[in-house]
Structure 1
Amino acid sequence: MSTPFDTPDWRSMSRQDRDLGLNNGVAVPASADIVAGWDKRSVEMRARHSSHLDLRYGPRERNRIDFLKAADGAPTLLFIHGGYWQARAKETFTVFAGGPMAHGINVALIGYTLAPDATLDEIVAEIHAGLDFLVAQLPDLGGDPDRIGVSGWSAGGHLTSMALSHPSVKTGMAISGIYDLEPIRHSYLNIKLGLDKEASQRNSPMMQAGGVLKPLSLVAGSAELPLLRKQTADFAGHRARYGLPVTYEEISDANHFTIMNEMMLREGRITTLIRQLFERV
């Protein structure tokens, strides 16, 4: 759980270097093509699982959940998309339900209002509202409301860590997340987020004493930007120091986008970790 040796201190970086150090699109030139592939395969998967799409959990346009059923009475994984809280949509990520569903795990994908139309406090509240809705609906949908896990990628990894405190959530799987928002607050990403110091602290798990006593798996790619690898390593160390259940690993040679291949596949490493987490609850 040590910090990657090549990680600079963000406080000593120029604004330009800090911005580049957080910009995954620039770091992975093929990212647009990769995401386009996700979109294409997700359209096909949504067509195969069209019975319970766009279930409305709140009043705002993006307050919708897609539920993909693998088996009656099965556990459910709520997946939270990334995009630095200001881009992308749940529809792009449907393809990643394939890995967990191959092991009999239902998958729900949640949408949420993006910044600047919502503050980060409001986005976190929307995820909790979506979980309230999902718990109430799972008996009719065919899932087990007593076995819910959360997962997410990038900003969704952060929202996973914030959703772990929901009383019905039993476990979490956070992928390439952000757990200390101070570097974000001092970067180009804050133009739309509008974080002040207090909001950053409220929404940074790394700034809290302790945390939630539930199993959490953390992963990042070994080829990701050093600042983001550090986020995951430091958060794993934070949880370990407080005696909270955590596993941490880097996926060899994976960048911020190719790491998601490990959830798309039945035998992918992230899929395996998700399956193992549900075996504990």
Structure 2
Amino acid sequence: MGGWWDMAAEELEQQYSPSRWSPRLGPDEVIQAHLAAAAAGTQRARAGAQTSLHVPYGDGDGEKLDIYLPTDPSGTFPVLVYIHGGYWQCLRGIYLCGHSAGAHLAAMVLATDWTEYGVVPDIKGAVLVSGVYDLEPILHTYVNDALHMSREVAQRNSPLLHIAPAAPAAAACKVLVAMAQHDSPEFRRQSREYVLALRAAGWSVSMLDLAGVDHFDIVEKLSEDSYILTQVILNMILRA
């Protein structure tokens, strides 16, 4: 049985272009709808929370984050760090949530040997949504026109290739890998293989295959209380 390396360039372009797989809208329309949904969700969140916006965490222009706090931030509360997608272009308990390329970045956090930096972050859970975990196939797609990754860089930054046996702290971290029914077969394959690799290394990992959603509305629906992924994330945090 062949793998991604047997695909023609046109097929790889198709597989790693999530907007081409939505049954709801055309490629351009689904991206515009996703941007509009994200902007509207941001406005709702800012209206209902205390915020510290554009807080720098590095020297680069893009190295900023937005912090949302409860309206009454008394006592302790968990922290959810959400990393958006866009193919890397566009000490309370910490929970990571990443979508698409953001899921890759969250997975790289899990793959990091933090002892090299003299810290042990208290990461209690990670929700990785429609992610990409092996970057080598992307070398042969339009995405690399902007990234200019070499094979060595792609392999060094592929979390699927850098899964260490789960230490006690890692074993306590709950990992959920979610994928959409209408993600491309390659995105779905990568999610399944990443789950199997984590499980084989002793990580506490589960997989959620969400029906009726595509690469974009799988996260747009997180604003809905009744959405299963919303409920799973809240349960993960509340049970800790």
With the shorter chain as reference, the TM-score category is 0.7 to 0.9
| Equivalent residues of 1:262, 1:269 under 8 A apart | no
* Aligned amino acid, residue 9 of structure 1: G
* 1:17-62 Cα deviation digits (max 9, x unpaired): 1101111123331412232232133234324435311112221112
Q: Structure 1: how far apart are the matches of 2:159 and 2:61?
A: 28
Q: 1:14 to 1:253 in 2, by over 3 A?
A: same
Q: Structure 1: how far apart are the matches of 2:217 and 2:99?
A: 12
* 1:194-219 Cα deviation digits (max 9, x unpaired): 21122111111111253552321100
2:117 corresponds in structure 1 to: none
Q: What is the DSSP-based 3-state SS (H/G/I as helix, E as strand, rest coil) of the residue aligned with 1:250? A: strand
* Aligned amino acid, residue 56 of structure 2: R
2:79 corresponds in structure 1 to: 76
| Equivalent residues of 2:177, 2:195 under 8 A apart | yes
- TM superposition shift of 1:229: 0.8
* 1:133-177 Cα deviation digits (max 9, x unpaired): xxxxxxxxxxxx221111110000001111224532222110000
Work out which of the residue numbers 138, 141, 161 in structure 1 matches 2:107.
161
Q: Structure 2: how far apart are the matches of 1:244 and 1:194?
A: 32
Q: Structure 1: how far apart are the matches of 2:145 and 2:3?
A: 22
How many residues were matched structurally? 218
**Is 1:226–2:185 an aligned residue pair?**
yes
| Equivalent residues of 1:217, 1:273 under 8 A apart | no
| Equivalent residues of 1:240, 1:246 under 8 A apart | yes
Work out which of the residue numbers 81, 85, 88 in structure 1 matches 2:88.
85
Normalised TM-score (structure 1): 0.72
- TM superposition shift of 1:268: 2.0
Work out which of the residue numbers 131, 156, 174 in structure 2 matches 1:177.
131
| Equivalent residues of 2:4, 2:12 under 8 A apart | yes
1:25 corresponds in structure 2 to: 19
- TM superposition shift of 1:240: 1.2
Q: 1:263 to 1:41 in 2, by over 3 A?
A: closer
| Equivalent residues of 1:205, 1:211 under 8 A apart | no
* Aligned amino acid, residue 49 of structure 2: H
Q: Considering only aligned residues, what root-mean-square deviation do their CA atoms show, in Å?
A: 2.0
Bigger mean CA deviation after superposition, 158-167 or 226-235:
158-167
Q: Structure 2: how far apart are the matches of 1:40 and 1:272?
A: 21
Q: 1:263 to 1:8 in 2, by over 3 A?
A: farther
Q: Structure 2: how far apart are the matches of 1:209 and 1:255?
A: 27
Q: Structure 1: how far apart are the matches of 2:234 and 2:37?
A: 25
Identity within the alignment, %: 26
5 Å-filtered alignment, 1:136-155, equals: 145-155=91-101
Q: Structure 2: how far apart are the matches of 1:263 and 1:193?
A: 29
Q: Structure 2: how far apart are the matches of 1:45 and 1:262?
A: 14
1:45 corresponds in structure 2 to: 45
